Structure 1
């Protein structure tokens, strides 16, 4: 395994690769894998749409400060602001 191979910044060892290979050769329980679900949980009955938003460094800093202060995610703060201004 090359020195550059990592997962989330953690080097992948030959032992880890051997463990994964043994798991694959033994087979997987497909039913339990399907139970995990895919992606993020929905926000309601309707599918939601992802949009890109460009912010300056100052805007992003303000957003992050507010989100941290209110113990919310960036998305929650943005959605709440949209609801207040769009009403």
Structure 2
């Protein structure tokens, strides 16, 4: 754990009080990259430990992330 000095806190406070350039902050490309023209929805799904293990195994076998393997499975199911 790194300790923050009173001097650093004061610098952050001074910076905040001076204000931020909102346009510059928006240009920084913060957040996850988009997946298309429209915003994507986040869907929460509850999985058992066994289901999660199977999902992770399938993702690793195919060199994919959890999200990628779930999207591939949904595309296959919907086809």
Q: Is the pair's TM-score, using the shorter chain for normalization, greater than 0.5? A: yes
1:8-65 Cα deviation digits (max 9, x unpaired): xx45523442331232244323321121245432211233222111110011112122
Unaligned runs of 5+ in 1: 1-9
What number of residue pairs does the alignment pair up?
Answer: 78
Matches within 5 A, 1:37-76: 37=29, 39-76=31-68
User: Higher strand proportion, which one?
Assistant: 1
Unaligned runs of 5+ in 2: none
TM-score (norm 2): 0.71
Q: Which moved more, 1:61-70 or 1:73-82?
A: 61-70
TM-score (norm 1): 0.66
Give RMSD over aligned pairs: 2.3
